[in-house]
């Protein structure tokens, strides 16, 4: 542990207040800071700054709007198995308006929103959950008699930052599925300017929390890609970190749900897994703080590409994914056909056609041997 963290650990009085609020031990708190620092892709030396920010920074006022969605984003934040997660989230932000959680209703709720906006003008963080219908002048979603499009514009005008949480607010998500009868659109489209997006249906609560902690620690939201997604969470394909990737590389695939390959944890590509074209950190940070295997592929279901515009809710579940940056499977043995007819030279030629390097061809030869030895997944009778 570095010196600054050691200092922090000695700072018993200050920590006692935090421990009382969160009902967690110092050990749990430091573990949390380590996890968030790692999720953000920051060096271990940043842990102390993260710990200090969470412990002492003034909690930013957050106004959280709900539009066309299922409230799964909020549920995933609050229903984590481990009770400290939602406590931490509610501790690091001052949630001044949230229709699911606030006790107020009707005019009282709207008055609370306006009061929070006025008191924190230019400083509050606006979180948008759900898509915003733009068709027919936006009449398909109203809150307190106000159209969603008008409310989001009003709230964004004086916000310090806007975060679109979930795929609905990030790119339209499920409500925008063809034929999109309400013209459901993203927060960025509705506002006509880019916003930070945390896609996923639901999104991973740690990604939201890590983005907020970054804001607390450095006074700004994290670096994003061209779609507004924080790079710390969305710069790698699901396929790159998937625990079944070795099976993909070796040509071992589940062909049907419940077949021998599926039961042995083989790759789900041929069941339509969209991991090869979906950017998200699900396999590395998992979901719900509930232990190993708690993500779609870990549970035996193909990734449906829920974070990715044009994939989730757009492509049929069992359609094969586009392979974005891996050697196409043509260079691997085909598991449903008889093997052994392909000579090494022919396989190497295939690999070359596919753009594989010489090392790739050697790997291919190894994979060919392994697959032939290990008898591939067979179709269930």
Query: Footprint of ligand FSX on this chain (CB under 6 A)?
Result: 69-73, 129-130, 166-169, 173-174, 201-202
Task: By CB under 6 A, name the one of 182, 217, 307, 367 that touches ligand F3S.
Answer: 307
CA end-to-end span of the chain: 57
Q: How far apart are CA 47 and CA 276, in angstroms?
A: 32
Please say which residue, 198 or 297, places its beta carbon nearer to ligand F3S.
Answer: 297
Q: Is 70 helix (H, G, I), strand (E, B) or coil?
A: coil
Of the two residues 77 and 254, which places its CB atom closer to ligand FSX in the complex? 77
Phi then psi for residue 357, to 5 deg, are: -80, 175
CA-CA distance, 170 to 225, in Å (whole number)? 13
Listed ranges 79-87, 189-197, 278-286, 314-322: which one lies at the site for ligand F3S (CB under 6 A): 278-286
Looking at the Cβ atoms of 283 and 333, the one nearer to ligand F3S is 283
Q: What is the DSSP string of 139-207?
A: TT-EETTEEHHHHHHHHHHT-SEEEEEHHHHHH-TGGG-TT-TT-EE-HHHHHTS--EEE--SSPPHHH
Which of the choices ligand SF4, ligand F3S, ligand FSX, none does residue 267 contact, using the CB cut-off of 5 to 8 A by kind?
A: ligand SF4
151, 238, 335, 377: which one contacts ligand F3S (CB under 6 A)?
238
Shortest Å, Cβ 288 to ligand SF4: 19
Residue with tokens 């930070």: 196
Name the residue number minimizing CB distance to ligand SF4. Answer: 275
- Closest by Cα among 260, 267, 252, 264 to 301: 267
Q: Which is nearer to ligand F3S, 9 or 241 (CB)?
A: 241
**Long-range pairs for 352-360 at CB < 8 Å and ≥24 separation?**
354/327, 354/328, 354/330, 355/327, 356/327, 356/331, 360/327, 360/331
Residue 299, CA atoms < 13 Å, CB-side half-sphere: 10
**Nearer to ligand F3S among residue 60 and residue 203 (C-beta):** 203
Question: Given the complex with ligand F3S, which of 32 and 295 has the nearer CB atom?
Answer: 295
Mask 179-218, x = binds ligand F3S (CB under 6 A)? ---------------------x------------------
Contact positions vs ligand F3S (CB under 6 A): 200, 238, 278, 280, 282, 295-297, 303-307
């Amino acid at each position: 542990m570095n010196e600054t963290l050691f200092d922090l650990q000695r700072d018993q009085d200050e920590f006692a207040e935090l421990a009382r609020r969160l009902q967690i031990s110092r050990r749990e708190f430091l573990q949390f800071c380590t996890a968030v620092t790692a999720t953000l892709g920051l060096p271990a030396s940043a842990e102390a700054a993260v710990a200090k920010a969470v412990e002492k920074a003034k909690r930013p006022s957050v106004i959280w709007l709900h539009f066309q969605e299922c409230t799964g984003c909020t549920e995933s934040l609050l229903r984590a198995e481990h009770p400290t997660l939602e406590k931490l989230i509610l501790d690091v932000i001052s949630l001044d308006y949230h229709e699911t959680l606030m006790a107020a209703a009707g005019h009282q709720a709207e008055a609370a929103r306006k009061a929070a906006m006025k008191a924190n003008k230019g400083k509050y963080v606006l979180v948008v959950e759900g898509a915003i219908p733009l068709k027919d002048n936006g009449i398909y979603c109203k809150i307190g008699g106000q159209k969603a499009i008008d409310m989001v514009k009003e709230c964004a005008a004086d916000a310090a930052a806007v975060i679109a949480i979930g795929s609905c607010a990030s790119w339209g998500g499920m409500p925008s599925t063809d034929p999109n009868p309400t013209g459901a659109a993203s927060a960025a489209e509705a506002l006509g300017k880019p916003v930070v997006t945390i896609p996923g249906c639901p999104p991973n609560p740690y990604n939201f929390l890590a983005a907020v902690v970054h804001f607390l620690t450095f006074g700004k939201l994290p670096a994003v890609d061209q779609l507004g997604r924080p790079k710390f969470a969305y710069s790698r394909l699901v396929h790159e970190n998937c625990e079944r990737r070795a099976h993909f590389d070796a040509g071992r695939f589940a062909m049907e749900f419940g077949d021998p390959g599926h039961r042995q944890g083989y790759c789900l590509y041929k069941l339509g897994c969209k991991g090869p074209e979906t950017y998200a950190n699900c396999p590395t940070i998992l979901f719900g703080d509930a232990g190993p295997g708690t993500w779609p592929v870990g549970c035996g279901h193909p990734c449906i590409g829920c974070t990715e515009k044009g994939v989730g809710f757009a492509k049929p579940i069992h359609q094969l994914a586009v392979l974005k940056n891996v050697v196409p499977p043509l260079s691997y043995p085909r598991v449903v056909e008889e093997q052994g007819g392909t000579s090494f030279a022919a396989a190497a030629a295939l690999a070359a056609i596919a753009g594989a390097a010489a090392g790739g061809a050697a790997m291919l030869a190894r994979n060919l041997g392994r697959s032939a030895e290990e008898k591939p997944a067979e179709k269930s009778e």
